[in-house]
Structure 1
């Protein structure tokens, strides 16, 4: 009988950020699975959680994915939380990779089968000025993207002043809409840096139709507060990239607080939990628009999830003509999904369709990287 023999962790620096990749090994020759955690910036905390799970998963049958998910989630009194579910996510994705390889089918065949031939992406666009914003957006349009998601570059070198940001963006975004035309979908990610009155002010200062969605203007711990904000603005909301379970998603889905579910398969609990969130979203006619900011394993797992899902908007993509493009990623991931224009084709090989350079990762030095710690003019801290 096939058994799990080891779970290895590889915290590594890829391009300009850190990633945590895991490998689940088995006693079946040539059969192993790759997974990844999405809890960026706290990779070592997840390494510790994975080691706890490896202690009792070793010797178990990796094909029993649902049962192992339940055992991992319920194997401690203090269940859940972002660190634990990030570890569960990585292991769960790797188990799907293993089972797909064993059965010689793509992972989406384990999730219900293929419903589409390709996945359309929205492009992330980071900017600091009006000129940069419009220039990059034009380049993305020329590359074939029909949806873009904007976010301000805030690296912590100067105080962050929300009102100054609002003043700039309420001038720049209508100009961008005029340049892009009505066919382009334009969203804005405010990275939960605003308050409720600031959010309302931001939206009210622009012509209706400037934005097609607004992503996480405020923090998401309190769904009742978000419900009140939902009543004050007309722009659709995109929320959920920080959610670590179907239970965290539930109030936002059942009350239609969000209009796009920003599932992160590497944080929410892997493919097992992600597919349940997709189904919950479908009951309220909410499309999923997955969070995908880190690396090829997350991209591949998300492609398989979306291939088997009905209610799909776009997949986030950072590997574009204006964002992260480099050779470092290719060295770590010799086999990975390749975007064609603004789309990913659905793969047909067994498992996830990703390979990781374990030898290179073992030789690489891991250095902790902190995201910017933004502060206001008075010295108090705000969200990055």
Structure 2
């Protein structure tokens, strides 16, 4: 089965841009993948166009060999743009293989080890009484694992010192109210310095948080090692990593306790399975990162089905799953039910794409909110 075309669709779908990639074959079987480099979808589409030139004519079943050629086929290998494009192509090739054999991808990865994946829900309420109210409502609706966000995510000025103090106070009160059985975490979106993250953790009693997600940027392993010595809160790190080499020191040095693999950025299913295996050797659970569309979810669930070390799955209130209610763009998109996601047995990753609707959609220029500190300097969103 030969590849005959590779197409990238950077388009506004639902309420955000997605970069979808379609791989076509001479047997009429097509596969769909998704890239995760949010707000830089056109850069990914450009990389896909480069790769298309040498992918046409390749055997679509040689997924591992294609991964190596795409990753190493230029002097400057790797990098987020290239691995985001590679991720989408890789997912599409696995989708093709499953469809060709009329089996789900997880059957190609060793078969299901579970039928469903427990999810966690996220509150993006301000760090005040409204957060406590929403968390209590989540618990009343059956949620056992709850994550809070790093406060106001809109563009504007953020006072980190004040935020650290307010958030620690509210989370301490929240833990006292909900008791010890609910799993509680927070995503700081890489906004903090080592000192700020340490101060935040030290302002709360031990056991307040079950995980702290992305408190600082991942690039400095030494910075995470310093922070690790200052707090006993488990870390959930890895959504920024774009290949197994970037994940390796975080796993091998015990710096991530939950591996936040993003299948649409890390290099697709091929690379995600290697990272998951690496994590397994260190008794680390995978907690997939997924703020994207249904293909990301479907591909991630295939991995979750096949690995032994699967933790909780992200269900975010801003995810596209809630932005395509009429099924205009996708069929058989995964949907959370009873705080879990079921593993599908449909061929491939299970999601079908309405290409006509995608082609009719247009790209909308969007930039992430720009956050500044009180002194006017930029900080992370």
Shorter-chain-normalised TM-score: which range?
A: over 0.9
The aligned residue for residue 281 of structure 1 is: 279
The aligned residue for residue 221 of structure 2 is: 223
Tell me: CA distance 1:319–1:198, structure 2 relative to 1, closer, same or farther (3 Å).
closer
The aligned residue for residue 375 of structure 2 is: 378
Tell me: CA distance 1:324–1:61, structure 2 relative to 1, closer, same or farther (3 Å).
closer
Q: 2 CA distance for matches of 1:124 and 1:156? A: 16
1:330 aligns with 2:327: yes
Offset at residue 155 of structure 1 (A)? 4.0
Offset at residue 123 of structure 1 (A)? 1.1
1:98 aligns with 2:96: yes
Tell me: CA distance 1:169–1:201, structure 2 relative to 1, closer, same or farther (3 Å).
same
1:254 aligns with 2:288: no
1:302 aligns with 2:300: yes
1:349 aligns with 2:372: no
Tell me: CA distance 1:142–1:325, structure 2 relative to 1, closer, same or farther (3 Å).
farther
Offset at residue 131 of structure 1 (A)? 2.4
1:26 aligns with 2:25: yes
Superposed counterparts of 1:31-42, under 5 Å: 31-42=29-40
Superposed counterparts of 1:163-242, under 5 Å: 163-242=161-240
1:11 aligns with 2:17: no
Q: 1 CA distance for matches of 2:315 and 2:228? A: 27
DSSP-derived class of the 2:280 partner:
helix
Superposed counterparts of 1:29-108, under 5 Å: 29=28, 31-108=29-106
The aligned residue for residue 364 of structure 1 is: 361
CA deviation profile, 1:16-68 (whole Å, cap 9, x unmatched): 32111111111113x11010001101000000001111110011111110010
DSSP-derived class of the 1:100 partner:
helix
Q: 1 CA distance for matches of 2:290 and 2:364? A: 22
- Check the 8 A contact 1:318/1:324 in 2, yes or no: no
Offset at residue 319 of structure 1 (A)? 4.9
- Check the 8 A contact 2:127/2:151 in 1, yes or no: no
DSSP-derived class of the 1:331 partner:
coil
- Check the 8 A contact 2:120/2:144 in 1, yes or no: yes
Q: 1 CA distance for matches of 2:333 and 2:378? A: 38
DSSP-derived class of the 1:124 partner:
strand
TM-score by length of 2: 0.97
Q: 2 CA distance for matches of 1:304 and 1:155? A: 31
- Check the 8 A contact 1:123/1:149 in 2, yes or no: yes
Q: Which runs of 4+ in 1 moved over 4 A?
A: none
Q: 2 CA distance for matches of 1:99 and 1:83? A: 25
DSSP-derived class of the 1:227 partner:
helix
- Check the 8 A contact 1:170/1:205 in 2, yes or no: yes
Offset at residue 158 of structure 1 (A)? 2.8
The aligned residue for residue 262 of structure 2 is: 264
The aligned residue for residue 243 of structure 2 is: 245
DSSP-derived class of the 1:369 partner:
coil
RMSD: 1.6
- Aligned residue pair count: 381
Offset at residue 216 of structure 1 (A)? 1.1
- Check the 8 A contact 2:294/2:321 in 1, yes or no: no
- Check the 8 A contact 2:98/2:347 in 1, yes or no: yes
Tell me: CA distance 1:372–1:362, structure 2 relative to 1, closer, same or farther (3 Å).
same
Q: 1 CA distance for matches of 2:320 and 2:186? A: 16
- Check the 8 A contact 2:293/2:321 in 1, yes or no: no
TM-score by length of 1: 0.96
- Check the 8 A contact 2:292/2:320 in 1, yes or no: no
Tell me: CA distance 1:204–1:323, structure 2 relative to 1, closer, same or farther (3 Å).
farther
Q: 1 CA distance for matches of 2:111 and 2:50? A: 33
Q: 1 CA distance for matches of 2:320 and 2:43? A: 28
CA deviation profile, 1:299-351 (whole Å, cap 9, x unmatched): 0000000100011111111259x997344573221321122111111111111
- Check the 8 A contact 2:324/2:330 in 1, yes or no: no
Q: 2 CA distance for matches of 1:102 and 1:116? A: 24
DSSP-derived class of the 2:265 partner:
coil
Q: 1 CA distance for matches of 2:305 and 2:199? A: 38
Superposed counterparts of 1:155-166, under 5 Å: 155-166=153-164
- Check the 8 A contact 1:125/1:323 in 2, yes or no: no
